Amino acid sequence: MVVNFAARINRLQAQLQTKECDCAIILQDKDLYYYSGTAQNAHLIVPAREKPLLLVKKDFERAKRETAVIDVEPLSNLRQLPDKVAERLGYQPSSLGFELDVLPTSNYKYYKKLFPNAECVDISTIIRQQRMVKDNEEVRLIRKAGQVQDEVYQILAGLIREGMTEVELAALIEMEERKRGYIGVPPMRGFNQTLYHGQILSGKSGGVPSGFEGPAGGLGLHAIFPQGPSWKEIKRNEPIFIDHIGYYFGYMVDMTRVFSLGPLPPHLASAHQSALDIQSRIIEEARPGVSCEKIYDIAVEYAERKGLGKNFLGYDYTLPFVGHGVGLEVDELPVLARRQKSLLCEGAVVAIEPKFVFPGEGIVGIENTFLVTTDGLEKLTNFSDELCII
């Protein structure tokens, strides 16, 4: 990997100066990795103008080997943090930036006690907007993740058998993904939002809602994790919905395809084609400068025109987004969502997922990951979008 971590730090420092924030303290593991190259238990101190400092609680030796930050010191006790920050800055800070979208309240209160004279400001939007625009190395890794996931989907038809359970199929797919470098649980920034590899739902399972903020829910194996594959057996002539994350060196693509053992009922096959048509309309319209809200509205209006508005992105509950950014996390910016006025920008990577839910019958639709370029969208997940009839 060839990553210019210094350039990332410099861009963050420019934003800190604009915000008149003396220093950022980066804690969340994916943000730590993005700016420093390590995800060990550490505090990354980024002054608005001075050199960064990585303070490592555990494991110091690993962090020192992994990080691109030159100045690395152990931090045996958090009470040392104020002195370390003041020493790096050359003065006592009056404002400190934290990732307040993910920092637990108890931690926030503790840092307030450590820095009683400093205002704690939220820099999570600054970080997420910077991470939204991928650099060349990130694009290379995401493109490779798409190629690896295409390989997995190429062999799925040979894994599916009538009578096998959803969770049995999930285990076979996980084995293929793990052999190709899949990390494990896809990281999500949202509170209480967790996936395990993704969704594998057959027939009526695809019509079971859950609290997860996505079009698909599923029965899951237990109420403690009420989503995803279950003990349901896979049958003929029902949609087998496979929505999985593909990984390569920590970067991801999000991809959905629908398989079936024998043909689907005509109304489900027709709805799947409508999802492909929505994707085509979005590809025609999406380019830098187009609002995220417009993309969402295009999708909803098409679904309603086809008489499928009630089934779109849920059932009797239309999910407020049709796409989301991906990178180091599943739920990055931008969000192609209702009333989202922000504009698409070159370098963003988005997963677009028009899907239709039919209670008692299943879910159909498509999801692909795209790079936003000056000319529009470049597709990074290239396995066939069509229904895969086995």
| CATH code for the domain in which residue 200 is found | 3.90.230.10
At 1 the pLDDT is: 63
Output the six-digit token pair for 373. Answer: 């370029």
Q: In this structure, what token pair is assigned to residue 120?
A: 């704690």
Residues 124 and 163 in one domain: no
Structural domain of 111: 5-131
* 54 contacts 65 by C-beta, under 8 angstroms: no
Asked whether residue 55 falls in the same domain as residue 165, the answer is: no
Please report, for residues 28, 102, 380, the alpha-carbon distance to residue 98 in angstroms, rounded to integers and kept in the order given.
Answer: 10, 9, 33
Handedness of CA 106, 132, 179, 223 (dihedral sign): positive
**Does residue 59 have a cis bond before it (omega within 30 degrees)?**
yes
Q: In this structure, how many other beta carbons lie within 10 angstroms of the beta carbon of residue 107? A: 13
Structure tokens at 378: 């470049």
Q: Length of the chain in residues, anyone?
A: 390
Decide which of 69, 101, 131 is a domain's last residue: 131
Q: Copy the structure tokens of residue 198.
A: 């993704």
Do 279 and 150 fall within a single domain?
A: yes
Q: Which two tokens stand for residue 113?
A: 């006690």
| 227 shares a domain with 79 | no
How confident is the prediction along the chain (390 residues), in pLDDT tens digits per residue?
Answer: 678 999 999 999 999 999 999 999 999 999 999 999 999 999 999 999 999 999 999 999 999 999 999 999 999 999 999 999 999 999 999 999 999 999 999 999 999 999 999 999 999 999 999 999 999 999 999 999 999 999 999 999 999 999 999 999 999 999 999 999 998 788 999 998 888 889 999 999 999 988 888 888 899 999 998 999 999 999 999 999 999 999 999 999 999 999 999 999 999 999 999 999 999 999 999 999 999 999 999 999 999 999 999 999 999 888 999 999 999 999 999 999 999 999 999 999 999 999 999 999 999 999 999 999 999 999 999 999 999 999
Three-state SS for 363? strand
pTM of the model: 0.96
Please tell me whether residues 56 and 149 are part of one structural domain.
Answer: no
Q: Are residues 192 and 246 in the same domain?
A: yes
Reported as half-sphere exposure (CB side, CA atoms, 13 A), residue 309 has a value of 9
For the range 301-309, what are the long-range contacts, defined as Cβ-Cβ under 8 Å and sequence gap of 24 or more?
Answer: 302/274, 302/277, 302/278, 303/274, 303/278, 303/354, 303/356, 306/274, 308/271, 308/274, 308/356
- For position 183, what pLDDT does the model report? 85
Query: What token pair was written down for 69?
Result: 């930050």
CATH number at residue 64: 3.40.350.10
Q: Please, are residues 311 and 319 in contact by the beta-carbon 8 Å criterion? A: no
Among 96, 131, 166, where does a domain finish?
Answer: 131
122 plus 173 within the same structural domain: no
Q: Which pLDDT score, from 0 to 100, does residue 2 have?
A: 78
Can you tell me the distance from the alpha carbon of 207 to that of 1, in angstroms, rounded to the nearest whole number? Answer: 42
Pairing of strands 95-98, 119-122: parallel
Number of C-beta neighbours around residue 217 at 10 A: 23
* Domain match, 88 and 125 both: yes
Q: Are residues 320 and 333 in the same domain?
A: yes
Tell me, yes or no, whether 231 and 102 share the same domain. Answer: no
105, 211: one domain: no
Number of domains in the chain: 2
- Across the beta sheet with 368-373, what order do the strands follow? 332-337, 321-325, 349-352, 368-373, 376-379
Question: Which residue among 131, 148, 168 closes a domain?
Answer: 131
Q: Are 229 and 200 in contact (CB under 8 A)?
A: yes
How far apart are the C-alpha atoms of 217 and 275, rounded to whole Å?
18
